A and B are shown apart, each in its own frame.
Chain A
Amino acid sequence: MRSLLRFLVRNFAFLLFLLLEVVSLVMVFNYNSFQRSRFLNSANFISASFYNTTSSVFQYFELARVNEELANENAYLRSMLDGGTLEEISSHDSIVITHELPDSRFVFRAARIINNSANKQQNYITLDKGLDHGIQADQGILAPEGVVGVVTSVSKSYASGLSLLNPRWSISAKLKNSGYYGSLRWNGQNYRQADLQEIPIHVNLATGDTVVTSGYSSIFPEGLLIGTILSFDKPQGENYYNIKVKLAVDFKSIRYVHVIENVKKEELKALENKVINGAGNY
């Protein structure tokens, strides 16, 4: 017992070192549960309000470009007006547009990006809107140019989420021409490119083909732009293409985004669960 105590005292620093490293590694491996926690990520009040302050200073330098983007988006939306219905309801300081699609109902809320990165292996986004503005986990993030990411954690007035530049998330994507779908995942290398997987080799492809969201997840509506095919090849002995997609969004320059809420998500989930659970009875 005495010698055990003496051992512990003598190697106190080494044991503390081991303990702290193990704690760190546990945090690295359990990123999912911490990512959803309220305090240990950039959606917490302290870090988010720091980011909010600095970004509200730096945004002035980008106003010209942002204005141009908004004008382009307005022109695009105006051209779409003929087809669908568009109603404006102002709540807080964001404009809510209800966009009627044949199968489901989506609400768009405007938000500003207050922290973002493109040079890490796992990139995250922090937004200046949170629970108070109707934003919840598992809502999609969309820039004027295309899909950006998904919200994973929300506090009272801030939200943070996974960017498309994060290999821990993949998005269900399809080819606009042929309708074949696969999953799109960033490979951690070039911030302008991602890999589209699971497209069978009998499909005809061409570089420049448009890749859009499939609408098979409850996060994004169908047909939102993701990018265009940059290059593709058929690996020996495999049934699927290797496709490199040039992302539509330049993650180093996005500033304003829309957060998409699927109002009928609960209904959809309930129905899908019913089918899965009921399948055994037949």
Chain B
Amino acid sequence: MGREIIKYAIMFTVLVLTQVLFLNQVQISGFVNPYIYILFIMLLPVNAPRYVLLLGGFFIGLSIDIFSNSLGIHAFASVFIAFLRPPIIRAITNREEDMADYPGLAQNGLGWFLYYTAIMVLLHHVALFFIEVFTFVDILRTLYRIVLSSLFSIFVIVLSQFIVFRD
């Protein structure tokens, strides 16, 4: 239990710093900005209590917000996907199979993880970009930004599973 908490605390710090110091500086064509900090919410144990998910999501979103002067925007999007995570996991997992407690790539296979990442990233980006522009005017442009950034985020998240979070 103590080891788990330390592991997640390190993951929290590393993800926030990677996000604000490197990925937020990636500026391709003014549209694309990958957000990988949601890996923290995705990788919390499968049977973690819902309030842990919600508070974890809120605090990692708030940390990103403080660094990028966007108070409330990332917090909103993270809490949103933290709330939807349990039903999403239930929906995409076969009931017959035994589900590992750690929802990583190595434990559940590439197909499952890609599916999981795609759904979480898309929901997060939709909430994030619509709260950011706060208008449905020019909706196509916002959708374009969502799709481009999502593809990039999904790519970086899945890649990171091969490189860093192998466990």
Contacts and interface: CB of A to CB of B under 8 A. Distances in A.
Interface in A1-42: 12-14, 16-17, 20-21, 23-29, 31, 34-35, 39-42
Contacts, number: 100
Contacts of A34: 71
Contacts of B67: 42, 47, 50
Secondary structure dominating the interface of B = helix
Q: Kindly state the interface size class of chain B when it binds its partner.
A: 35 or more
Given A28-B131, A190-B30, A54 B69 contact: no
Contacts of B65: 27, 40
A27 B75 contact: yes
Interface stretch (A116-124, A134-142, A260-268): A116-124
Q: How large is the interface on A (under 10, 10 to 19, 20 to 34, 35 or more residues)?
A: 35 or more
A252 interface: yes
B21 A42 contact: no
B117 interface: no
A160 interface: yes
B54 interface: yes
A20 B72 contact: no
Interface stretch (B37-45, B76-84, B93-101): B76-84
A189 interface: yes
Contact of A28 (B20, B68, B76, B79): B76
B31 to A, nearest CB: 7
A190 B31 CA distance: 10
Contacts of A17: 54, 79, 83
A41 B69 contact: yes
Contacts of A24: 58, 61, 72-73, 75-76, 79
Contacts of B55: 16, 20
Which of B30, B131, B134 is most buried by chain A, counting CB atoms within 10 A of its CB? B30
Interface string B31-54: 111000000000000000011001
B159 interface: no
Given A17-B54, A24-B75, A42 B31 contact: no
A16 B72 contact: no
Contacts of B147: none
Contacts of B73: 24, 28
A191 interface: yes
A44 interface: yes
A6 to B, nearest CB: 17
A47 B58 contact: no
Nearest to B32: A119
B54 A28 contact: no
B76 A47 contact: no
Most buried by B among A28, A160, A190: A28
Interface of B: 17, 20-21, 24, 27, 30-33, 50-51, 54-55, 57-58, 61, 65-73, 75-76, 79-80, 83, 131-134, 141
